[in-house]
């Protein structure tokens, strides 16, 4: 098997799985308990938060653990929401767990504006500057687009915020950025930032939201008051501690980045003899590669590769059963180009041999499909 759908999910690492097992079977105590072994587990959770804050390069703030990035994104938006909010600014590149929240807020009577995209998949910064004004109360922009790998400049967005709407809250979805590109939340100036465990070799069912010190969110779940009353429910200790292990295993981000960039370049080079368009540029994250093939259906290519033991996707797993692709369309791709698109996403564990085999097989599948369609 050659797995190149790492933007959808990753395999839990051996060490993270061992940690999960330890806290599921031996250190299984409820962190709300008052006896020593439970208090130790509670302290271990606090240690995990410190590890994540260090990795995010921030000296203050808190981590709120959630069951998923979708929950964390919803907490960021709905937890920030106030009755006096006048305008909420999102982007056309946002994950469905932000974009669909925006649609719901419109249904509730809030004014929501979606920033358009450039053809490279990044947000249109000139358009964003025009959209932002003194009425803007909340901004949420994805850091790295899960469809194309386009990297949005959070520092630049924050400068626009300070210029046009300094009181607005700024959230970024960092699910496809964390562990893959350099992150410094103190430098970026964000108030809220989302990460997800299963995108970086931790288990499914664990994610978290960074909350800047001094920012007060409202809970969207009510119960026992865990996580400083922001996320009630007994903490998923095994997954939290496995996430900590995965964070400690990130390694050298720059070295991993260069390895993955080499993989992406090899993959693209092996497709140069067929009509294939890359829906990105060199500024995008190499971990995600969006490709359009002329005259074929991307879903058909995905299944042909599957028959050869190679796994890619047509796009976000959260939108795989929906027709079209909102983000590619927002980049001005024609419908036939959207239909002919696939997403290849790499990890630091993929090898040159895997990429050579996968790209050459993809080329053969395309040629075979074109021959059948003649």
Instruction: Report, as residue numbers or ranges, the catalytic residues.
Output: 318
Site of tokens 């959070």: 154
Instruction: Please answer whether residues 229 and 75 qualify as being in contact, where contact means their C-beta atoms are separated by less than 8 angstroms.
Output: no
Site of tokens 């960092």: 174
| CB atoms near residue 118 (< 10 Å) | 17
For residue 339, report the phi and psi dihedrals to the nearest 5 degrees.
Answer: -65, -30
Q: What's the rounded Cα separation, in Å, for the pair 90 and 5? A: 26
Q: Which of 143, 231, 213 is nearest to 179 (CA)?
A: 143
> 364-370, long-range: CB within 8 Å, 24+ apart, which pairs?
365/301, 365/304, 365/305, 365/308, 366/274, 366/276, 366/293, 366/296, 366/301, 367/274, 368/304, 369/296, 369/300, 369/301, 369/304, 370/295, 370/296
DSSP single-letter state for residue 324? S
Contacts of 130 (CB under 8 A, 6+ apart): none
Beta-strand pair 276-278/288-293: antiparallel
Q: Which of 206, 140, 144 is nearest to 175 (CA)?
A: 144
């Amino acid at each position: 098997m050659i797995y190149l759908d790492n933007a959808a999910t990753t395999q839990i690492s051996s060490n993270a799985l061992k940690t999960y097992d330890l806290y599921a079977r031996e250190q299984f105590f409820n962190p709300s308990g008052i006896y020593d072994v439970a208090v130790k587990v509670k302290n271990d959770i606090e240690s995990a938060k410190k590890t994540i804050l260090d990795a995010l390069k921030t000296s203050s703030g808190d981590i709120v653990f959630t069951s998923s990035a979708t929950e964390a994104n919803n907490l960021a938006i709905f937890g920030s929401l106030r009755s006096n909010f006048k305008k909420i600014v999102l982007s056309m590149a946002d994950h469905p767990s932000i974009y669909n929240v925006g649609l719901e807020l419109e249904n509730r009577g809030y004014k929501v504006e979606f920033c358009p995209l450039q053809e490279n998949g990044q947000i249109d910064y000139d358009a964003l500057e025009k959209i932002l004004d003194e009425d803007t109360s909340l901004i949420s922009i994805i850091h790295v687009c899960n469809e194309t790998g386009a990297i949005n400049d959070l520092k630049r967005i924050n400068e626009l915020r300070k210029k046009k709407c300094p009181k607005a809250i700024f959230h970024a979805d960092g699910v496809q950025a964390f562990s893959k590109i350099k992150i410094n939340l103190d430098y970026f100036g964000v108030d809220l930032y989302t990460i997800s465990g299963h995108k970086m070799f931790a288990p499914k069912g664990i994610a978290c939201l960074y909350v800047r010190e001094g920012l007060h969110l409202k809970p969207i779940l009510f119960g026992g008051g865990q996580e400083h009353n922001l996320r009630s429910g007994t903490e998923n200790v095994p997954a939290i501690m496995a996430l900590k292990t995965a964070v400690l295993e990130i390694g050298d981000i720059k070295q991993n980045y260069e390895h993955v960039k080499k993989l992406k370049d090899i993959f693209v080079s092996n497709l140069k003899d067929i009509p294939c368009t890359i829906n990105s540029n060199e500024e995008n994250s190499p971990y995600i590669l969006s490709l359009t093939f002329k005259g074929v259906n991307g879903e058909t290519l995905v299944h042909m590769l599957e028959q050869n033991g190679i796994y890619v996707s047509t796009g976000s797993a959260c939108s795989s059963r929906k027709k079209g692709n909102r983000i590619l369309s927002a980049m001005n791709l024609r419908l036939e180009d959207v239909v002919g698109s696939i997403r290849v996403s790499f990890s630091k564990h993929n090898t040159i041999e895997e990429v050579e085999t996968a790209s050459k097989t993809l080329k053969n599948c395309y040629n075979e499909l074109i021959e059948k369609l003649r």
